[in-house]
Amino acid sequence: MKIVIIGGTGLIGTKTANQLRQIGHEVVQSSPSTGVNTLTGEGLDEVLKGVDVVIDVTNSPSFEPQAVLDFFETSTRNILAAEKRAGVRHHVALSIVNTDRPPGNGYFHAKAAQEKLIKAGGVPWSIVRATQFFEFVGAIAQSATEGQTVRVPSAKVQFMAADDVAAAVAETAISPPLNGTIDTAGPERVPFDEVVGRWLNAHNDPRNIVADASAPYFGTPIDDQSLVPLGEARIGRIRYEDWLAQSLVAA
């Protein structure tokens, strides 16, 4: 099977490509650095020739609400149009758990808009909705830091490893189109502050962690149902403790 991964040189794109190649599929990793620009459409027709499946794991360069909305709407329209011209049989997109009940977050709103376009786009489709990644916990801690205090929500979360995200995307890509969504999440549901606190401890970071029910997640209040799957979900195999240990060894 020939598969193109758009946004294929990033974290999830690279991991997904590696997993698909290991089981014998032909994979092309495309991005602006390889001459494929989904905002202008440049390179899309050429890269999609003879392709069976397209995986979209692109991300906006800006998280400003209007900019991220414009990115996902323009990019998705261009990808779907090129897929129709090329006769692509399956469009797979990575999204976020609970985009259908976003917590007032501009990024969630933009991903919901992307999903709406895919569902109406005329190409058989599957959407993999993932929870937040272990790999981003350090950046989340930094964004919530004031002085030596890291103030984060106390709501329950179910973060997961990028390797597990990639596995869910890869498996979906080589399966028949769902024309539906699938949720995937980590194996542990724990308080947000515990996730960040364990990261700080593992890195011998002296900052103090404070759990605050009113603390926002990137500007948005959350509760125990905001960042976890609410129904059936594919559960990842990698536990946070194991991921932390492996990431420290790699570092």
The low-confidence residues of the chain, meaning pLDDT below 70, are 102-103
Establish how many alpha carbons lie within 13 A of residue 239's alpha carbon, considering only the half-sphere containing its beta carbon: 4
Q: Which domains does the chain have, with CATH numbers?
A: 2-133+159-188+224-238 (3.40.50.720)
CA distances from 46 to 4, 42, 94, 212 (A): 11, 9, 23, 50
CB 184 within 8 A of CB 131: yes
Q: What pLDDT does 103 receive?
A: 58
Rounded to whole angstroms, the maximal C-alpha distance in the chain is 55
Burial of 216 (0-12, 13-18, 19+ CB in 10 A): middle
Q: What pLDDT does 100 receive?
A: 79
The per-residue pLDDT for range 39-96, each reduced to its tens digit, is 999 999 999 999 999 999 999 988 898 999 999 999 999 999 999 999 999 999 999 9
Q: In what order do the strands lie in the sheet with 145-146?
A: 145-146, 149-152, 208-211
Taking the CA atoms of the chain, what radius of gyration do you get in angstroms?
Answer: 18
Quote the Cα angle for 6-226-214, to 5°.
125
58 Cβ contact partners less than 8 Å away, ≥ 6 residues apart: 6, 7, 38, 71, 72, 75
Listed in sequence order, the DSSP H helices in 48-152 are 65-86, 106-119, 137-143
Q: What pLDDT does 58 receive?
A: 96
CB 127 within 8 A of CB 114: no
The per-residue pLDDT for range 22-46, each reduced to its tens digit, is 999 999 999 999 999 999 999 999 9
Quote the Cα angle for 151-246-159, to 5°.
45
Q: What pLDDT does 39 receive?
A: 96
Establish how many alpha carbons lie within 13 A of residue 29's alpha carbon, considering only the half-sphere containing its beta carbon: 15
Establish how many alpha carbons lie within 13 A of residue 179's alpha carbon, considering only the half-sphere containing its beta carbon: 6
Residue for token digits 């991220």? 68
- 141: helix, coil or strand? helix
The model's pTM: 0.95
How far is it, in rounded angstroms, from Cα 167 to Cα 185? Answer: 12
Pair type for strands 145-146 and 2-6: unpaired
Picking from 122, 99, 125, the residue whose alpha carbon sits closest to that of residue 112 is: 99
